[in-house]
Amino acid sequence: MFNPIVIHMNSKPIYNIHFTQSYNILPDIILNEVLNNTGKSNRKVFIVADSNVATYHLQAVIKQLEDNNITNFSYTFLAGEENKHTGTIGNIYEKLIDNHLDRNDLLIALGGGVCGDMTGFAAATYLRGIKFIQLPTSLLAMVDSSIGGKTGVDYNGYKNMVGAFHMPSAVITNTEVLKTLPDREYISGFAEIIKHALIDDKDYYNFLFDNSTAALNKDLDVVAQIIYKSCNIKKKVVEEDPTEKGIRAHLNFGHTLGHAIEKYMNFNLLHGECVSLGCIASMYISYRRGHITLEEFNNAKELFSMYGLPVKINNLNKNEVINITSNDKKADGNTIKFVLLKCIGQAYIDTTVTKQEMYDALSIICEE
């Protein structure tokens, strides 16, 4: 596997992203990397997992902790975006209090983006902040949500409207768990991967074209290369702009309309599926503004399709989707921060996208 990727803040290393094919390294990471200076012999570890992931992986994690005499507790919540709300956070707080976790103890997020976001938010706010580790189990979480310290919960159906920046103390990416990931969830992760290539790296974009068959067949050697490339892109952006004051917003390419579609569809589509649609809409605006050619637009749309991601959607009320964008967390006063492409591999932030441009772009992805 690859050497760890070190994430820095203010030029100082703050945590590592480890790449592995099991959870055997977890106790060593906890004891010698995360809890090294906090009286580690009597520390407690609290694992949060969703009900699907717990079935496959929770006992393996618990066994690693127990074999190394690490006191641990766990909490399982019902899987699904619909459970990403403050009520679930309240349940986590209650379990943490019941088990007397203090500021020197540790949370572990075992799951995909929903679990990672909520566990991170609980860690950021419990006792004004305790450490946590990300164990991402979905492809999307491995390349995106587990990295960079953005945490949060949905509120009244609006994505991540309540949240905090709270960096993990480590990320452990175990590619073996992808074998248990349902195909639809696995494919969903490639939307964020293609997004990374579109906003930052044309060579990576071409690599994704050349390796689509192997990636979709879960050739873990190829998938590991893809994860590593995407993590390095996110590392670069996060280090330059840890709290999203500037360039980090480039990672929201496809998300302005993608989040609105996700809410409009009442979360019946996966996040990556909505990002795919949002990216195509944003690319269309970029094309209409003369930044990319029609051929480049069509080739990019083909790449999303090659990876099994949606490029069209039925029964979309375009005006309602546009109205939803005004309540998105990326709104800035009366303007919407939109991420567009200057060219394949280079993004920029724009606040002049009109409702008509959004309407036209949504028309492109709507089935007739």
Beta strands at 170-174 and 131-136: parallel, antiparallel or unpaired: parallel
Select which of 84, 255, 301, 330 is catalytic: 255
Select which of 100, 128, 156, 334 is catalytic: 128
Select which of 57, 159, 250, 259 is catalytic: 259
Select which of 234, 250, 301, 318 is catalytic: 234
Question: From the CB of residue 100, how many other CB atoms can be counted at a distance below 10 Å?
Answer: 9
How far apart CA 19 and CA 27 sit, in angstroms, is: 15
Using a 10 angstrom Cβ sphere, with 0-12 exposed, 13-18 middle and 19 or more buried, the burial of residue 51 is middle
Question: From the CB of residue 202, how many other CB atoms can be counted at a distance below 10 Å?
Answer: 13
> Catalytic annotation on 259?
yes
How far apart CA 366 and CA 368 sit, in angstroms, is: 6
Select which of 43, 84, 131, 150 is catalytic: 150
Closest by CA position to 193, among listed 218, 222, 221, 226: 226
Select which of 81, 185, 244, 357 is catalytic: 244
Alpha-carbon distances of 59 from 73, 113, 279, 298, rounded to whole Å: 11, 20, 38, 46
Select which of 192, 262, 273, 357 is catalytic: 192
Select which of 252, 301, 318, 337 is catalytic: 252
> Catalytic annotation on 103?
no
How far apart CA 341 and CA 344 sit, in angstroms, is: 7
> Catalytic annotation on 150?
yes
> Catalytic annotation on 234?
yes
Helix/strand/coil for 230: helix
> Catalytic annotation on 94?
no
> Catalytic annotation on 252?
yes
> Catalytic annotation on 255?
yes
Contact 95, 77 (CB under 8 A): no
Select which of 271, 291, 330, 337 is catalytic: 271
> Catalytic annotation on 271?
yes
The residues annotated as belonging to the active site are: 128, 150, 192, 234, 244, 248, 252, 255, 259, 271
